[in-house]
């Protein structure tokens, strides 16, 4: 059974969730003569299968794995390969992998000839529930996470749950951080499902995880359908990310995104509570559910000053004013503008070990 979740807006498309979805690719590629397939080494054989079914002339491009591939230098190498293959505006870029590869593939597609068609074939939990949906594409630079990129919606998204069978357990857990984020900002049934059976939530072959994927994709689809370019509502998807991205930068992008976001969610919940906006129980529920699935919830006390300066380049900041997504209650996200440093430090004390 394939579930189709529609993403609306000026450039609508569907997210397909199911099993054995490779056969859906030709429909998304259309009559393109050339397809570039970007992938990293762990996904080589899956990328080869995708290349075979595409029915087009394929340029395979193997990129460094995980965040090491999400750089301007790697993007430039991809542009060179597209140039050498004579890629035109009717050709298509396909990214086969987790969020890092699909963010890169989307960015290469957005920038090549000022924008060509692209399709993420998402293979990680985090990629399925978040990175492949919504058209945010980009790369990291030394100054910060995802600071260079473009909004470039895909032609469609394939979330083949069969791929999760080979995803390392740590990466599956990392993906649950974004699923839990969706639970707190919009769909509390997600939290009840995980709390009810945390083991089932991490079982790649089970129905609970499938329901979690579909629910999280629906949360994201509803938001990006009305606010592709993050002029308002879309900011809620950044819950936990202001500190999370600062941690990733401090760790030079060696931490898993979902792990950093998990710590960031604890911080955001503390900030919400300490600013008088969130009740104690909902705040405490963050730590409980994140720890239940084995996600990290602490970070070094001594790094606060460095993290604070990294947070100043967060995309939600306006000039010198920091802005955070907080909760005014379960599934009631809001914005906290310009909190004073003592409040931020107090919230960080709840994360610091």
Ligand X SMILES: NC(=O)c1ccc[n+]([C@@H]2O[C@H](COP(=O)([O-])OP(=O)(O)OC[C@H]3O[C@@H](n4cnc5c(N)ncnc54)[C@H](O)[C@@H]3O)[C@@H](O)[C@H]2O)c1
Q: Which residues are annotated as a binding site?
A: 65-70, 99-103, 123-124, 136, 145, 178, 241, 257
Nearest CA to 292 out of 178, 211, 201 is that of 201
* Partner from ligand X, ligand LNCXM5UN, none binding residue 238, C-beta < 5-8 Å depending on class: ligand LNCXM5UN
Using CA atoms, how far apart are residues 76 and 69, in angstroms rounded to an integer? 11
Residue 248 catalytic?
no
- Which run of H or E residues covers position 150? strand 144-151
Using CA atoms, how far apart are residues 39 and 33, in angstroms rounded to an integer? 20
Using CA atoms, how far apart are residues 204 and 42, in angstroms rounded to an integer? 18
Nearest CA to 220 out of 260, 175, 250, 254 is that of 175
Residue 257 catalytic?
yes
Q: Shortest distance, CB of residue 150 to ligand X, whole angstroms?
A: 11
Q: Shortest distance, CB of residue 45 to ligand X, whole angstroms?
A: 10
CA angle 75, 81, 87 (to 5 degrees): 105
Q: What residues between 283 and 322 interact with ligand X by CB under 6 A?
A: none
* Partner from ligand LNCXM5UN, ligand X, none binding residue 315, C-beta < 5-8 Å depending on class: ligand LNCXM5UN
* Partner from ligand LNCXM5UN, ligand X, none binding residue 171, C-beta < 5-8 Å depending on class: ligand X
User: Where does 178-291 show beta strands of DSSP type E?
Assistant: none
Instruction: Out of 210, 241, 285, 323, pick the active-site residue.
Output: 241
Q: How far is CA 175 from the centre of its chain?
A: 8
Which of 69-77, 200-208, 233-241, 327-335 is the region at the interface with ligand LNCXM5UN (rule: CB under 6 A)? 233-241
Tokens encoding 238: 């950044």
Q: How far is CA 317 from the centre of its chain?
A: 20
CB of 58 or CB of 268, closer to ligand LNCXM5UN: 268
Name the residue whose CB lies closest to ligand X: 99
Q: What residues between 174 and 193 interact with ligand X by CB under 6 A?
A: 174-175
Contact call for residues 288 and 335 (beta carbons, < 8 A):
no
Residue 49 catalytic?
no
Which residues belong to the annotated binding site for Zn(2+)? 178, 241, 257
Is residue 254 near ligand X by the rule CB under 6 A?
A: no
Contact call for residues 149 and 137 (beta carbons, < 8 A):
yes
Using CA atoms, how far apart are residues 134 and 120, in angstroms rounded to an integer? 11
Exactly one of 124, 137, 238, 272 binds ligand LNCXM5UN (CB under 6 A); that residue is 238
* Partner from ligand LNCXM5UN, ligand X, none binding residue 98, C-beta < 5-8 Å depending on class: ligand X
Residue 345 catalytic?
no
Exactly one of 21, 101, 155, 295 binds ligand X (CB under 6 A); that residue is 101
CB of 241 or CB of 256, closer to ligand LNCXM5UN: 241
Residue 332 catalytic?
no
First to last CA, the chain: 46
Using CA atoms, how far apart are residues 241 and 244, in angstroms rounded to an integer? 4
Residue 234 catalytic?
yes
Q: Any residues with CB less than 8 A from the CB of 290 and at least 6 apart, and which? A: 177, 180, 262, 265, 266, 297
Residue ranges binding ligand LNCXM5UN (CB under 6 A) = 130, 134, 136, 145-146, 178, 230, 234, 237-238, 241, 315
Residue ranges binding ligand X (CB under 6 A) = 40, 42-43, 65-67, 70, 97-101, 103, 123-124, 126-127, 130-131, 134, 136, 146, 163, 166-167, 171, 174-175, 257-258
Q: Which residues are catalytic?
A: 114, 136, 178, 220, 230, 234, 238, 241, 245, 257
């Amino acid at each position: 059974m394939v579930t189709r979740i529609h993403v609306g807006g000026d450039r609508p498309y569907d997210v397909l969730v199911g099993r054995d979805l490779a056969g859906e690719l030709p429909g998304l590629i259309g009559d393109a003569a050339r397809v570039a397939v970007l992938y990293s080494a762990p996904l080589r054989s899956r990328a080869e299968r995708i290349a075979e079914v595409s029915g087009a002339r394929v340029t395979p491009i193997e990129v460094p794995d995980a965040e090491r591939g999400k750089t301007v230098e790697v993007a430039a190498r991809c542009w060179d390969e597209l140039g050498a293959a004579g890629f035109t505006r009717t050709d298509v870029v396909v990214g086969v992998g987790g969020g890092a590869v699909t963010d890169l593939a989307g960015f290469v597609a957005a920038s090549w000839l000022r924008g060509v068609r692209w399709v993420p074939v998402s293979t990680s939990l985090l990629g399925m529930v978040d990175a492949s949906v919504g058209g945010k594409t980009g790369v990291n630079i030394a100054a910060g996470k995802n600071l260079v990129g473009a909004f470039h919606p895909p032609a469609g998204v394939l979330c083949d749950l069969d791929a999760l069978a080979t995803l390392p357990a740590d990466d599956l857990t990392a993906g649950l951080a974004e699923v839990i984020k969706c639970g707190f900002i919009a769909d509390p049934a997600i939290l009840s499902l995980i709390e009810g059976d945390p083991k089932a939530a991490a079982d790649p072959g089970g129905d609970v995880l499938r329901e979690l994927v579909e629910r999280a994709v629906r949360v994201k689809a509803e938001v990006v359908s009305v606010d592709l370019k993050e002029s308002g509502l879309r900011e809620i998807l950044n819950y936990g990310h202001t500190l999370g991205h600062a941690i990733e930068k401090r760790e030079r992008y060696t931490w898993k995104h979902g792990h950093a976001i998990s710590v960031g969610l604890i911080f955001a919940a503390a900030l919400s509570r300490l600013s008088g906006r969130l009740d104690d129980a909902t705040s405490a529920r963050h730590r409980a559910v994140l720890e239940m699935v084995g996600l990290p919830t602490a970070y070094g006390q001594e790094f606060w000053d460095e993290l604070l300066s990294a947070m100043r380049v967060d995309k939600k900041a306006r000039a010198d004013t920091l802005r955070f997504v907080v909760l005014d209650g379960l599934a009631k996200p809001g914005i906290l503008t310009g909190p004073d440093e003592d409040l931020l430090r107090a919230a960080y004390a709840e994360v610091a070990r």
